[in-house]
Structure 1
Amino acid sequence: MNSKLTYIDLFSGAGGMSLGFDKEGFNNIFSIDIEPSFCETYKANFPTHNLVQKDITKLTDQEIKSLTNQMDIDVVIGGPPCQGFSIAGNIGRRFIEDPRNQLFREFARVVEIVKPKYFVMENVARLFTHNKGETKMEIIELFKKLNYSVDCKVINTANFGIPQVRNRVLFIGNRISDNIIFPDKKVEKYTSVKDAIDRLPKLKSGEKSKIANHIAMKHSEQMLEKMSYVSDGGNRNEIPETLRPKSGDVRKYIRYKSTEPAVCVTGDMRKIFHYSQNRALTVRELASIQTFPIDFVFKGSTISQQQQVGNSVPPVLAMEIALTIKKMMKDDKQIS
């Protein structure tokens, strides 16, 4: 039975999944990502991890074997970007065969080579219903051919005390038994945006603070005037008609509702304003909504930092996932 739990993090980004698994006592064998600024953030926050900054399609089978050094790997984790979506589905072409989903196939390739006891693949919820559910079944069948029991489920981060409604699909695989466990809902009352970020110093448009990544974007006077009419949780309809934008992004000129969880944090959240301060949220506030601790520092340009935060798995969710893997391992007598 294993005393030292091990994991590999594919498409590691800023390190939301790594952080959660570290906190639950797993040891990193290696992580891989291609984006330089994402890697800069990862290195700054995980100085002892073995990060490979490389296109995963260029990582050879032999390199993978060398990186793992024939170790028993407990779990491979990651969220491969899947671009091969369309409203009508991939007519005449299976999801797995779509070249746009090459990165998903790379996840499967690493699993096939490393043969971890378990794997966790996280992705957008749309994968669950895509192509009338056929895509989900294709993925499950592929991993079954690699001798894994597999199941998938859509989960909402707000159910785990995370101050954000973020629906994601989790595919969990088990090579040891048929036992698959998913994280269980933890809270009855949702955590609000205000609960998550109200402790941070107030900022005006363009103002900076001493807290890392807590720097307010500078907005135009025109934008600030329009937003001054919008109440907590309100939208553009509160702006006087003479000033109200007639066209443009409907997500613009709205404010977070302080008493509810945030909408899903994405790579560009500059369109939604603070519930009480006249500005968009800072990277630090977005990171707090994603449950990153305040000492987790994001590197690169502000736009890149927002993308890093938006692309991340919330560390608190990653901890819940790591806990379920440990439960499965205990059931399967892989840990005492």
Structure 2
Amino acid sequence: MHRKGKDIKALKYIDLFSGAGGFSLGFDRSGFQNIFSVDIQKDFCKTYKANFPSHTLIEEDITKLSDERIIALTKGNDVDVVIGGPPCQGFSIAGNIGRKFIDDPRNKLFQEFVRVVKVTNPKYFVMENVARLYTHNKHLTRKEIVADFNKLGYTVECKILNSADYGVPQVRKRVIFIGSRVNETIVFPDISHTEHLTVKDALSNLPKLKSGEESTLLNHKAMNHTQQMLDKMGFIKDGEGREKIPLNLRPKSGDVRKYIKYNSAKPSITVTGDMRKVFHPFANRALTVRELARLQTFPDDFEFKSSSIAQQQQVGNAVPPLMAEAIANAVKKMLDV
């Protein structure tokens, strides 16, 4: 089974805001053992429980998870690493210039990540977030986050990593904070793929589907598009965008990443929770959940639960498992195992 990694000195991790489990899957594959995971979203938890039946999943609001309960959950375990990507709304592009990140109530979940690190005292932590956090508020937000962990006794470094550099057929840039209380030298994963995998590499051997068709492969069901949408997308070829749609039919506004077809010769654009208007390079339809999962490097036996929209959100919010595994291997290297 792909979720049972080798036991390497029984290395242990906690996954906060675990979602569908991309981060957990990468750490499992690297040989770590799960102590517990936490998430509040019911649809995401259905998927996590289905794919990680041996994990302890706490399905509730992390702000309601008391210090005492966290201590009880970790009893008998040395915590090697706390991982997670806390949702943060306080650094939009418009931003909150002049307001401290830590003081913004929208970033309460980041504060919860800090609290769990303080309570569990792991050797390491790994925190993932959107790339724009790195430069937000003239770099003050990043420095503020680092300082918050420094107060707990952690040496911290952060970098923007691109998932395509680690065998993921997708350009997905994320800021990764790694902190250590046992080592002053922080190690990030070495780039393993200077030649990036492409959309074609990821999707070419999947069953071919037309709009509305379904395959026996898990989560491989094509959306049933309206004729109006099919007509618009019929003007666009592999790698082209909305400018190919005649002016009288062309959408006048909306996300520039929509109404395009993936370029089969390049890595995918960043997979998000709503890819319904980004089309397959060869088929006149949006990608199935399984195809999106391929672009995120989830294995084909990883089943996403609940509605198709919820499944897309789960895939789009996840840390790509191959990237997570590369990060886990870097942590293992620092733990000298």
Any idea what SS the aligned residue of 1:318 has?
A: helix
* Among candidates 4, 11, 15, match of residue 9 of structure 1: 15
Displacement of 1:217 in angstroms is: 0.5
Displacement of 1:244 in angstroms is: 3.2
Distance in 1 (CA, whole Å) between partners of 2:298 and 2:251 is 35
Q: Which residue of 2 aligns with 1:99?
A: 105
Q: Which residue of 2 aligns with 1:177?
A: 183
1:135 pairs with 2:125: no
1:64 pairs with 2:74: no
Distance in 2 (CA, whole Å) between partners of 1:239 and 1:92 is 43
Q: Which residue of 2 aligns with 1:283?
A: 289
Which AA in structure 2 matches 1:261? P
Question: Which TM-score applies when normalising by structure 2?
Answer: 0.95
Q: Which residue of 2 aligns with 1:201?
A: 207
Question: Which TM-score applies when normalising by structure 1?
Answer: 0.96
Distance in 2 (CA, whole Å) between partners of 1:245 and 1:60 is 49
Distance in 1 (CA, whole Å) between partners of 2:297 and 2:23 is 12
Displacement of 1:247 in angstroms is: 4.4
Which AA in structure 2 matches 1:289? L
Structure 1: unaligned runs, 5 residues or longer: none
Distance in 1 (CA, whole Å) between partners of 2:252 and 2:141 is 39
Cα 1:83–1:241 shift into 2, 3 Å: closer
Residues 131-177 of structure 1 deviation map (CA, whole Å, 9 limit, x = unaligned): 00000000100101000100000011111121000000000001102
Distance in 1 (CA, whole Å) between partners of 2:257 and 2:26 is 31
1:192 pairs with 2:160: no
Matched-pair contact (CA < 8 Å) for 2:183–2:334? no
Which AA in structure 2 matches 1:311? N
Distance in 1 (CA, whole Å) between partners of 2:94 and 2:66 is 35
Any idea what SS the aligned residue of 2:148 has?
A: helix
Displacement of 1:18 in angstroms is: 0.5
Mean Cα deviation higher: 186-195 or 275-284:
186-195
Which AA in structure 1 matches 2:297? T
Which AA in structure 1 matches 2:177? F
Residues 228-255 of structure 1 deviation map (CA, whole Å, 9 limit, x = unaligned): 1111001122223443344444433210
Q: Which residue of 2 aligns with 1:40?
A: 46
Displacement of 1:93 in angstroms is: 2.4
1:305 pairs with 2:299: no
Residues 192-250 of structure 1 deviation map (CA, whole Å, 9 limit, x = unaligned): 00100111111111111101100000111111112111110011222234433444444
Which AA in structure 1 matches 2:21? G
Cα 1:74–1:250 shift into 2, 3 Å: closer
Residues 263-299 of structure 1 deviation map (CA, whole Å, 9 limit, x = unaligned): 0000001110000000000000000000000000000
Q: Which residue of 2 aligns with 1:50?
A: 56
Distance in 1 (CA, whole Å) between partners of 2:248 and 2:162 is 40
Quote the sequence identity (%).
63
Distance in 1 (CA, whole Å) between partners of 2:253 and 2:157 is 43
Distance in 2 (CA, whole Å) between partners of 1:254 and 1:56 is 38
Matched-pair contact (CA < 8 Å) for 2:46–2:306? yes
Matched-pair contact (CA < 8 Å) for 1:5–1:26? yes
Distance in 1 (CA, whole Å) between partners of 2:247 and 2:78 is 65
Distance in 2 (CA, whole Å) between partners of 1:167 and 1:309 is 16
Any idea what SS the aligned residue of 1:224 has?
A: helix
Distance in 2 (CA, whole Å) between partners of 1:243 and 1:134 is 44
Distance in 1 (CA, whole Å) between partners of 2:72 and 2:215 is 45
Cα 1:88–1:288 shift into 2, 3 Å: closer
* Among candidates 36, 45, 70, match of residue 30 of structure 1: 36
* Among candidates 301, 304, 308, match of residue 295 of structure 1: 301
1:259 pairs with 2:271: no
Distance in 2 (CA, whole Å) between partners of 1:248 and 1:176 is 48
Q: Which residue of 2 aligns with 1:321?
A: 327
Matched-pair contact (CA < 8 Å) for 1:88–1:131? no
Cα 1:107–1:278 shift into 2, 3 Å: same
Q: Which residue of 1 aligns with 2:130?
A: 124
Distance in 2 (CA, whole Å) between partners of 1:171 and 1:266 is 21
